[in-house]
Amino acid sequence: MITALGWLGSALIVASLAMHRRVPFRVLNLLSAIVLLVFNFAISLWSMEALNGAVLVVNAWHLQKLLGGARRQTLPGPKPGLSPARPAEGWFTRPEISHNEIPTYGRLTRAENDRRSVPAAPKEHG
């Protein structure tokens, strides 16, 4: 039974490392720390008990931040410290763009294209 706990804890660590998302990774890693805490206590392996205790605390802290942050984001109303009003013109905002001056990122704008003239044919001297 005790050996099975060690194998289960190890399998949970490997499974957690295969997770792509943060919350499932932290949950599985937390579960593996709990299982390995019990296993290491049963065999009196105190250094690994301390390690898995630290892993448990770190995973619980990160889970609290991840899940607490999701809860705070779903609250209605404006976020604290942010005003819904548009900021004053300054270095952090760009001026309003008229419809004729839509950015084209290297190409000519519609207004520049309209102003551009086709070069006239050279006159013959004669």
What is the value of pTM for the model shown? 0.54
Q: What does the DSSP 8-state code read for residue 85?
A: S
Domains of the chain, by residue range, sit at: 2-73
**What integer pLDDT is reported at residue 69 of this predicted model?**
65
**What integer pLDDT is reported at residue 93 of this predicted model?**
53
CA 5 – CA 39 distance, rounded (Å): 6
Q: What is the pLDDT along the chain (126 residues), one digit of tens a residue?
A: 889 999 999 999 999 999 889 999 999 999 999 999 999 999 999 999 999 999 999 999 999 998 886 555 555 555 556 666 665 555 555 555 555 555 556 666 666 666 665 555 666 765
3-state SS assignment for residue 7 = helix
